[in-house]
Amino acid sequence: MLRTAFLDFEKPIADLVEKIEQLRFVQDDPAVDISGEIARLEKKCQTLTRDLYAKLSPWQIAQVARHPQRPYTLDYAKSVFTDFQELHGDRAFADDHAIVGGLARFNGQSCVVIGHQKGRDTKEKIQRNFGMPRPEGYRKALRLMRLAEKFGLPVFTFVDTPGAYPGIGAEERGQSEAIGHNIYVMAELKVPIISTIIGEGGSGGALAIAVADQVLMLQYSTYSVISPEGCASILWKSAEKASTAAEAMGITADRLKELDLVDKIVPEPVGGAHRNHEEMAAALRRSLQESLRLVSGLSPEELVERRFERLMAYGRFKDRDAA
């Protein structure tokens, strides 16, 4: 795997790793044996990572959620599922590369996989539009959900987007309608839907594939109504206050679990999913299996009724007339 890219707040870890590497270089000289020292430092590095990640601030978690080496939907499509067959296009305008989807098998059972997709290198980032879908992306997702319904297949969605793309063409082709339509159809889709926030859950662009029977969040993912930067620039009149906004909005898995907006938190490897893709995939597979079991065996009517009741329960308010 590539060398881990370090985030700003990971500087102490980065320093330690560099020191270890320098020592490794020296160790090539057979005259000195410092393997003990290296082992000691590696252990220290593990501890330091664990300690640092045990008390991340919401803003730091947002950085981890956006880490360039974090596993993306296509990584999970290949590591959690087998025999992924990508399907393309909305049949009307284009194939949006910011959303991917297709048929796959989960523990041998056929299913549909849909998710936002970010790019790794500059070229792919642009091709994937940084994971910001246009209407045709949402319409492709919708087509695949209908396909799932027709053949009675469960739907797994993976959310990782800064938000739906705010562009001229996107508006002209009905970005609002595309998102609203997906929400509507997901509310009445007659097959199980399990959504996992794997990175950034950015607003309506995320929700458009995240109306589900079970909503999971990876430990260091975020899910919010507006990006911390966006919220800060509107309410604090300064994008610099993103960290404060992240704190105030409650964008992390544990806060959202407390608010009953998320069903399950999937634990990440020490130091985040990007440090160990295989371990992350294994943990995700276990969680998805449990979640699927919870919603399997219901009739389509029961399933839709339960989902409807879940959606109706969203919200915190006071009712003066309530006894």
Residues that bind another protein (CB under 8 A): 164-168, 170-177, 179-181, 183-184, 187-188, 203-204, 207-208, 211, 223-226, 231, 234-237, 245, 248-251, 256, 259, 261, 307-308, 311-312, 314-322
Query: Taking the chain, what is the end-to-end CA distance rounded to the nearest angstrom?
Result: 60
CB of residue 252 to another protein, shortest distance in Å: 10
Separation of alpha carbons 3 and 270, rounded Å: 16
User: In whole angstroms, how close is the CB of 248 to another protein at the nearest point?
Assistant: 6
Nearest-angstrom CA–CA distance, 175 and 188: 21
Q: How far, CA to CA in Å, does 108 sit from each of 105, 213, 278?
A: 5, 21, 19
At 303, the amino acid letter reads L
Nearer to another protein, 75 or 200 (CB): 200
Least distance between another protein and beta carbon 41 (Å): 41
Q: How far apart are CA 274 and CA 14, in angstroms?
A: 15
Closer residue to another protein (CB): 180 or 300: 180
Cα(303)–Cα(252) distance, integer angstroms: 28
> What is the rounded CA–CA span in Å between residue 39 and residue 215?
40
- Closest of 226, 299, 216 to residue 261, by C-alpha: 216
What is the nearest approach in angstroms of another protein to the Cβ of residue 76?
Answer: 23
Compare residues 17 and 178 and give the one whose CB is closer to another protein.
178
C-beta closer to another protein: residue 66 or 78: 66
- The nearest distance, CB 235 to another protein, in angstroms, is 4
Closest CA to 41 of 12, 61, 16: 16
Output the smallest distance, CB 137 to another protein, in A.
13
Considering the complex, state which of residue 226 and residue 280 has its C-beta at the smaller distance from another protein: 226
Place of tokens 């949006």: 96
Smaller CB distance to another protein: residue 14 or 225?
A: 225
